[in-house]
Structure 1
Amino acid sequence: MTDQTRFLQIHTLTPYIGVLLNRDDVGQAKRLPLGGTIRGRVSSQCQKRHWRRATGEWSLMPLGNLAIRSRQTFVKHVAEPLTNDEGLDPEKVAEAVLAIQAELLGESKKAAAKKKAEDYVAELKTNQVIVLGHAEIEYVKSLVRTLVADTASMKELKAAVAALLKKEKPNFASMREGAGLDAALFGRMITGDILARSDAAVHVAHAFTVNALETEPDYFTAVDDITQDSGEQGSGHINISELTSGLYYSYVVIDLPLLVSNLQGCHQRDWANADRSLAGKVVEQLIGLIATVSPGAKLGSTAPYGSADTVVVEAGNRQPRSLANAFYKPVLARNDLREAASGELLKHLTRLDGMYGRAEMRQASSLIDNFSIDGRAPVPLPDLAAWAGAIAAGTLPFKPEA
């Protein structure tokens, strides 16, 4: 296994000016205390959601079906299509769906008994957002469709449901691997025994500014055209928002054995010999998404679109480690914060190599003048993404000196 890379680490530095990327519960920019100063922050959840839903050249969507994340999946994608579109008996559909839902989510018999099939729209909503893939949803629909069609009464249906739950237990258990491409990457949390949690193969840190948070209150008004035209003074709306500027460091780790296992349904110990072509394509697209997709609120008023100035990818076998400590002290720069931050990133990397030894292959893309990584000039982002994809696919062996 020494010729196989187990982890990919992606580090980026991305500038944003006059934006509100990720808001907290009171509408202000999310924050993070670090090194005695307050920094701007973008949560990992925010980043992952934008990557999952991104379209364009780096989109994950062409590579496979993405999961549906909702509390209403059993209502909107199972019960309603079977009753409204296919004309099946609503009460029988609800009874069957309730039983299968309870089995999948690990609901107690006592809790399931309290539910009323006639009010299925309310009862089929889950207490938490669940992650189900399209294949899983279609499978559940097919089971319910068959149960309803093959039974003449509610009594027969309940007996058929009980028999089916026993018969389908192996198939229910296999649904762990059917949660969709994004669940294979980012995991899913389910409380039930059957749809147990799937561990995330992609680990995403909260991004933060390498400089102290810079904010500006944005006082704005909306003009009422009708009252203004009639000569009335004042505005139709007055409000205030918060805008921030900063250079964000983000850090992502890809666990390749787990990624291949999640995508192919194989055991992690067999990942190196599995078909890794899809993993290679996924990694290539993900590198592009991380570098180019902006998480952002207030799209219409701030156009918060930015791409990374610097992207560093490391491939190795030992435990990953963030380069966040390069910015434990806020970066101060009179001329160019971007150049100063890239320099701090490289200096910290050099210090880590000096203390622990170098055990990773590295490549980078960067807009910064005279930027180099391990003595090599940066490459275009598509080349960097293809390099990482080849590592994930197993076509590029692990050679730390390369």
Structure 2
Amino acid sequence: MSTPTLFVEVHILQSLPPSNINRDDSGTPKQALYGGARRARVSSQAWKRATRMHFAAGFPEADRATRTKRIGSLLTGRLTQPAAEGGAGLAQDQADRLAGALLAPLGITQSATKANQSAYLLFFGKRQLDDLIALLEGRAAGLAALPDKELKEEIGKLAVVQTLSSGHPAEVALFGRMVADLPALNVDAAVQVAHALSTHAVRTEFDYYTAVDDENTEDSGAGMIGTVEFNSSTLYRYAVLGVHQLRDNLTAPDATLDTAVRFVDSFTRSMPTGHQNTFAHRTLPQLVLVTLRTDQPVNLVSAFEQPVTGASGLAAESAVKLAAELDTIGTSWGSVPARTLSTHALQGDKLTEAFGLSVPFPALLDSLRGILDSWLANGRIPAGNPAPGDVPPARDGAAHTTTAAQDS
């Protein structure tokens, strides 16, 4: 019998003013050819990091994850801390030696050029380092005094790999971890994020700027001259969260529920920070559509294979095309979301028919929480319960969402 699956998809339309939030090695805003037209692009890595930073900001520092080559230095720092602060109170040289011995069972390739660093970035929870120290059970000083062979034997008796393979923080559970040297440390990501693409064709422009030397009273020339490349765009952003995978990566159902809802919030509100001071480009989406599916995820970017022209506004036209694509996928493939939730301020009966009633974003998150709570408890997605006349009849059995109060 197959394991039930639940995918929470987030589709976003978001307009950016002149900006360069994600650039290539030459400083040009990233782009891609799609549908025969050049589009603005923001890489999935850039928006995943922005999402992770926004997500992590709501947690205490000790409960966060970190991605670094300096796991050895961090562990050494823990071992040198006084015992009253959760450390082992070792001298620096003892801590360096014991940290190296503790990490040896992981078989992590060391950097060929930089001492005390791994050859690649590792993603782990800061609290997992404390769990490694707890394995020592107060014997840190005694272990550090052992000869190399005996130290290796004693460390080999400890559950080092198991400690870093469990108790993952929410960030690792969401975004996963791959360690080529030791597959036992791998964590399958619960989240996939697509490259954001503009729904329309774009062209790169150049901002020619000058800076004045305030203390220059001798001539009227500029103290600095330069250019920065930019574009403006309406982006289609897409991410999908496998709630079943997130549940497997975590341990407590409450953690799964909270993490899933917080992810949707963070992905929606986050923004990469490239050239942020130059362009002040922070905006909020014009449309947030959350679809829940139990079969397979469906990226709706094909709605924009033919570029939007923007005769009546790029965001509005993009929303209409997105609604049409959602309907087409349902009609052609029979792939109709189990539920849809939406937040937008765009007008049109077609949008309401496709997306359901628009609700304020906090209410959308409340409704999503209720749906996920039910699925985690009994494996079922509750049907919407609209008031009579509030929502057009569902297409092909698809249920439309309502406000949080109506859902309850």
Aligned twin of 1:376: 356
C-alpha separation in 2, matches of 1:256 and 1:205: 18
Asked whether 1:208 is paired with 2:200, we answer no
Asked whether 1:30 is paired with 2:7, we answer no
C-alpha separation in 2, matches of 1:355 and 1:249: 22
The Cα shift of 1:327 comes to 0.4
C-alpha separation in 2, matches of 1:205 and 1:232: 51
The Cα shift of 1:214 comes to 3.3
| Aligned residue among 212, 232, 250 for 2:219 | 232
Q: Which consecutive unaligned segments of at least 5 residues does structure 2 have?
A: 83-87, 384-396, 400-408
C-alpha separation in 2, matches of 1:23 and 1:78: 34
C-alpha separation in 2, matches of 1:64 and 1:254: 25
C-alpha separation in 2, matches of 1:2 and 1:386: 29
The Cα shift of 1:256 comes to 0.9
Asked whether 1:93 is paired with 2:95, we answer yes
The Cα shift of 1:312 comes to 0.9
C-alpha separation in 1, matches of 2:146 and 2:115: 18
The superposition leaves residues 92-132 of structure 1 with CA deviations (integer Å, 9 ceiling, x where unpaired) of 3222222222212455xxx89xx9xxxxx943211111112
Aligned twin of 1:270: none
Asked whether 1:392 is paired with 2:372, we answer yes
Please list, as runs of the form range in 1=range in 2, the aligned pairs for 1:123-138 lying within 5 A after superposition.
123-138=115-130
C-alpha separation in 2, matches of 1:212 and 1:338: 13
SS of equivalent residue, structure 1 residue 214? coil
Q: Residue type matched to 2:341 in 1?
A: Q
Given the superposition, is the C-alpha separation of residues 252 and 62 from structure 1 closer, same or farther in structure 2, using an over 3 Å criterion? farther
TM-score, normalised with respect to structure 1: 0.85
Asked whether 1:82 is paired with 2:62, we answer no
Asked whether 1:335 is paired with 2:312, we answer yes
Asked whether 1:67 is paired with 2:47, we answer no
The superposition leaves residues 30-80 of structure 1 with CA deviations (integer Å, 9 ceiling, x where unpaired) of 11110111111111111111111127xx955269822111111321x2213
Q: Residue type matched to 1:21 in 2?
A: I
Given the superposition, is the C-alpha separation of residues 144 and 26 from structure 1 closer, same or farther in structure 2, using an over 3 Å criterion? farther
Aligned twin of 2:158: 168
Please list, as runs of the form range in 1=range in 2, the aligned pairs for 1:292-311 lying within 5 A after superposition.
292-311=269-288
Query: Which is bigger in relative contact order (C-alpha 8 A, separation at least 6)?
Result: 1
Q: Residue type matched to 2:90 in 1?
A: L
Aligned 8 A contact 1:104 1:194 in 2: no
TM-score, normalised with respect to structure 2: 0.83
**What's the C-alpha RMSD, in Å, of the aligned pairs?**
2.9
Given the superposition, is the C-alpha separation of residues 188 and 226 from structure 1 closer, same or farther in structure 2, using an over 3 Å criterion? same
Aligned twin of 1:118: none
The Cα shift of 1:316 comes to 1.5
SS of equivalent residue, structure 2 residue 368? helix
Aligned 8 A contact 1:96 1:147 in 2: no
Given the superposition, is the C-alpha separation of residues 147 and 139 from structure 1 closer, same or farther in structure 2, using an over 3 Å criterion? same
SS of equivalent residue, structure 1 residue 250? strand
C-alpha separation in 2, matches of 1:69 and 1:14: 29
Given the superposition, is the C-alpha separation of residues 253 and 374 from structure 1 closer, same or farther in structure 2, using an over 3 Å criterion? same
C-alpha separation in 2, matches of 1:293 and 1:23: 17
Aligned 8 A contact 1:29 1:41 in 2: yes
The superposition leaves residues 351-390 of structure 1 with CA deviations (integer Å, 9 ceiling, x where unpaired) of 1111112431112111211231447321111111222222
C-alpha separation in 1, matches of 2:185 and 2:143: 31
Aligned twin of 1:259: 246
Q: Which consecutive unaligned segments of at least 5 residues does structure 1 have?
A: 116-120, 265-274
The Cα shift of 1:218 comes to 0.7
SS of equivalent residue, structure 1 residue 150? helix
Aligned twin of 2:51: 51
| Aligned residue among 181, 186, 195 for 2:170 | 181
Asked whether 1:367 is paired with 2:359, we answer no
Aligned twin of 1:267: none
C-alpha separation in 1, matches of 2:140 and 2:375: 50
The Cα shift of 1:235 comes to 1.6
